[in-house]
Chains A and B, each alone.
Chain A
Amino acid sequence: MTAVVDEQTASLKDSAALEEAARRCRRQIVKMVHRAAAGHPGGSLSAIDILTALYCNRLKVDPANPDDADRDRFIMSKGHASPGVYAILHETGFLSEEDLHSYRRLGGICQGHVDMKWTPGVDFSAGSLGMGLSFGIGCALAASLDGSDRTTFVMLGDGELQEGQIWEAAMAAVHHEIGNLKVFVDRNRIQNDDFVDKQMRMFDVALKWSGFGWSVMEIDGHNMDEITASIDWLDSITDGPAVVIAHTVKGKGVSFMEDNPKFHGAAPNDEQLEQALEELA
């Protein structure tokens, strides 16, 4: 375990406990999207294991003081996967059950896409793809200027890598040797209209990042032991930015959503919700 989380060691969850927390989050994700009759379950379910490990075991954030200036930052660049973020913020005490019921509702604090102005614990107003890595660079530069050891984590989607701004930011992070910037790519292989490689062939995503000068690791993004090891690896890289390509399954955990482009942005109906909750029981 890295030094930065020593003080949290007593409350660290083992992989079995993380898997259990992620299962609870998955149930909240499908219920949120079902209640709102809209939203993005697929990319929330693919990302939730990583979010769970980060929030439960690594991020120095405090639900009693969500605006603490010296907190770690988590930038969810694929902001439509908001049910995943709201679920883990609920799991870790930032949001109440009632807050989750406000998802996509008029006046609710859980906006359709994650928004730092509406939701405690959200560090970035996302929704338009390709912007989060740049924002994360700004947060990481600020930490360096402050002389703080706080860390900025960013999660990107793989379809999102089609945005040119991602690669502007990828160049800048290496040029400025930003060692306190850590990135996960949720490589779930599906985007809005279809499979990523049918929309725009990505070839070797890891090779793209290493070609830009990043330190790169690839993992199974649903294996908690591998996720935990990858977080330790990210923390060990301090001379420049590092990225974990997490191979995931869109809709992971709900059989009819898995690897199904339809559930990028569609809500389950009543019967489908019932089946999903049975599978996630």
Chain B
Amino acid sequence: MTLAASRDGYGEGLMGLVGDEKVVVLEADLGKSTKSLWFRQAHPERTFSLGISEQNMMLVAAGLASCGYKPFASTFAIFTERGFEQVRNGIARPNLPVHICGSHGGIHTGTDGSSAQSIADLAIYRSLPNMTVMHPCDDLSTEALTIKLGNYDSPSYTRTARNKTERIYDSDSAATLQIGKGSRLRNGSDVAILACGVMVSKALTAADNLAGQGIDATVVDMHTIKPLDEQLIARLSTECGCFVTCEDHSVIGGLGGAVAEHLSATTPQPLERIGVQDHYGESGDGEELLTKYGMSSDHIVTAAQRAIARK
């Protein structure tokens, strides 16, 4: 098992875009953390460090995009939210192709505590017209999806994680990923487990444990929260008949919220949502926090059993 952090994939993805002279990179003091510093070191003339000023960064990016550039702007996920209205009015509303990366997403961020643990970013960006929202699960998939954003003509928000988790893809399988299309990692007909970010490896562990109980689970890496892969969910409704969503994010408005909205409007089926249950985190090791807050692989197993029982 190889351990890797998705934030490294963002840095590698930017490096994969250096050949496109329209790609520019913006930072708000945290390039060392989001890994945009690799691009800055290679191309300082196309990297703009704007100090600790997220609101300004969002609109500088918008201005560059309005003139034909492809800005990639990053900071911690929680600090992107400081510029939320700037994203709403200055980027998403005029549909300017600015690509925002929020690193250190979720309570898995760990010991910094609740102030640094974004648990609402997927929800708020998902609510904006024109926005694409992604939360890949490892470095190689983040790299591949970031490179795809180089030819994406509308704005996006990509959340990455600080800490290393199990690498899910290899370079070849990551290269097949498409924005807006879920990636099936395991097939089973009893329950569909849809996961994103650091919870994908937890979902795979849970599926192994369920198999020991004679329960076959499908596991999907839902790296794109918006647009939601509605075709895949429709197929899984037929194949599995119940769902579990897993995200290091509030159960309100993120992946679980999106799937709940879609299922309730189409084919209502049992759905269990693993995630932060409408409260703030605290300091601690990322894995300890996931366990304390009900997001371990054991919690996913229990949720899958509940969902199946409700069929």
On whether the beta carbons of B51 and A138 are closer than 8 Å, the reply is no
How far apart sit A116 and B62, CA to CA, in the bound complex (Å)? 12
On whether the beta carbons of B65 and A171 are closer than 8 Å, the reply is no
On whether the beta carbons of B62 and A138 are closer than 8 Å, the reply is yes
The proximity string for A residues 129-164 relative to B, scoring 1 for CB distances below 8 Å and 0 otherwise, is 011101111111111011000000000000000001
What number of A residues sit within 8 Å (CB to CB) of B? 34
How far apart sit A2 and B55, CA to CA, in the bound complex (Å)? 35
How far apart sit A171 and B45, CA to CA, in the bound complex (Å)? 19
Is B185 at the interface (CB under 8 A from chain A)?
Answer: no
Q: Which residues of B contact A117 (CB under 8 A)?
A: 93-95
How far apart sit A176 and B45, CA to CA, in the bound complex (Å)? 11
On whether the beta carbons of B89 and A127 are closer than 8 Å, the reply is yes
How far apart sit A266 and B64, CA to CA, in the bound complex (Å)? 35
On whether the beta carbons of B59 and A139 are closer than 8 Å, the reply is no
Name the segment of B5-13, B66-74, B156-164, B230-238 touching the other chain: B66-74
The proximity string for B residues 45-57 relative to A, scoring 1 for CB distances below 8 Å and 0 otherwise, is 1101011010111
On whether the beta carbons of B56 and A143 are closer than 8 Å, the reply is no
Expressed in whole angstroms, the minimum distance between the Cβ of A79 and any Cβ of chain B is 10
Q: Which residues of B contact A75 (CB under 8 A)?
A: 63
The proximity string for A residues 160-184 relative to B, scoring 1 for CB distances below 8 Å and 0 otherwise, is 0000110011011001100000000
Is B296 at the interface (CB under 8 A from chain A)?
Answer: no
On whether the beta carbons of A128 and B46 are closer than 8 Å, the reply is no
Expressed in whole angstroms, the minimum distance between the Cβ of A115 and any Cβ of chain B is 8
Q: Which residues of A contact B90 (CB under 8 A)?
A: 125, 128, 131, 134-135
Q: Which residues of B contact A125 (CB under 8 A)?
A: 89-90, 93-94
Is A124 at the interface (CB under 8 A from chain B)?
Answer: yes
Q: Which residues of B contact A175 (CB under 8 A)?
A: 51
How far apart sit A172 and B52, CA to CA, in the bound complex (Å)? 10
Is B61 at the interface (CB under 8 A from chain A)?
Answer: yes
In the complex, which of the residues A69, A73, A116, A130 contacts B94, with contact meaning CB atoms closer than 8 Å? A116
The interface centre, meaning the residue of B46, B63, B93, B95 with most chain A CB atoms within 10 A of its CB, is B63
On whether the beta carbons of A131 and B59 are closer than 8 Å, the reply is yes
Known: A128-B85, A135-B90, A143-B67. A172 touches B51 (CB 8 A): yes
Q: Which residues of A contact B53 (CB under 8 A)?
A: 165, 168-169, 171-172
Is A91 at the interface (CB under 8 A from chain B)?
Answer: no
Is A123 at the interface (CB under 8 A from chain B)?
Answer: yes
The proximity string for B residues 77-113 relative to A, scoring 1 for CB distances below 8 Å and 0 otherwise, is 0000000011001100111000000000000000000
On whether the beta carbons of A135 and B60 are closer than 8 Å, the reply is yes
Is B24 at the interface (CB under 8 A from chain A)?
Answer: yes
On whether the beta carbons of A138 and B93 are closer than 8 Å, the reply is no
In the complex, which of the residues A116, A146, A168, A171 contacts B66, with contact meaning CB atoms closer than 8 Å? A116
On whether the beta carbons of B62 and A135 are closer than 8 Å, the reply is yes
* Contacts between the two chains (Cβ within 8 Å), count: 104
On whether the beta carbons of B89 and A137 are closer than 8 Å, the reply is no
Expressed in whole angstroms, the minimum distance between the Cβ of B51 and any Cβ of chain A is 7
In the complex, which of the residues B46, B55, B94 contacts A134, with contact meaning CB atoms closer than 8 Å? B55
Expressed in whole angstroms, the minimum distance between the Cβ of B22 and any Cβ of chain A is 9
On whether the beta carbons of A141 and B94 are closer than 8 Å, the reply is no
On whether the beta carbons of A172 and B56 are closer than 8 Å, the reply is yes
Q: Which residues of A contact B59 (CB under 8 A)?
A: 131-132, 134-135, 137-138, 165, 169
How far apart sit A142 and B93, CA to CA, in the bound complex (Å)? 21
Task: For A144, give the chain B residue with the smallest CB separation.
Answer: B45
On whether the beta carbons of B60 and A141 are closer than 8 Å, the reply is yes
Q: Which residues of A contact B56 (CB under 8 A)?
A: 134, 137, 165, 168-169, 172
On whether the beta carbons of A142 and B69 are closer than 8 Å, the reply is yes
The proximity string for A residues 61-85 relative to B, scoring 1 for CB distances below 8 Å and 0 otherwise, is 0000000010001010000000000
The proximity string for B residues 199-212 relative to A, scoring 1 for CB distances below 8 Å and 0 otherwise, is 00000000000000
On whether the beta carbons of A131 and B51 are closer than 8 Å, the reply is no
Q: Which residues of B contact A69 (CB under 8 A)?
A: 67-68
Q: Which residues of B contact A124 (CB under 8 A)?
A: 66
Expressed in whole angstroms, the minimum distance between the Cβ of A60 and any Cβ of chain B is 15
Expressed in whole angstroms, the minimum distance between the Cβ of B281 and any Cβ of chain A is 28
Task: For A115, give the chain B residue with the smallest CB separation.
Answer: B94
How far apart sit A140 and B59, CA to CA, in the bound complex (Å)? 12
Q: 9 pairs across A/B with beta carbons < 8 Å?
A: A116-B66, A117-B93, A117-B95, A124-B66, A135-B66, A142-B69, A165-B86, A169-B53, A169-B60
Given contacts A125-B89, A135-B63, 7 further A-B contacts (CB under 8 A): A116-B94, A117-B94, A134-B59, A137-B59, A137-B63, A138-B64, A139-B64
Residues of A within 8 A of B (CB): 69, 73, 75, 115-117, 123-125, 127-128, 130-132, 134-143, 145-146, 164-165, 168-169, 171-172, 175-176
- The 9 residue pairs across chains A and B that have the minimum distance between CB atoms: A138-B63, A134-B59, A142-B67, A168-B53, A168-B56, A135-B63, A138-B64, A138-B60, A165-B55
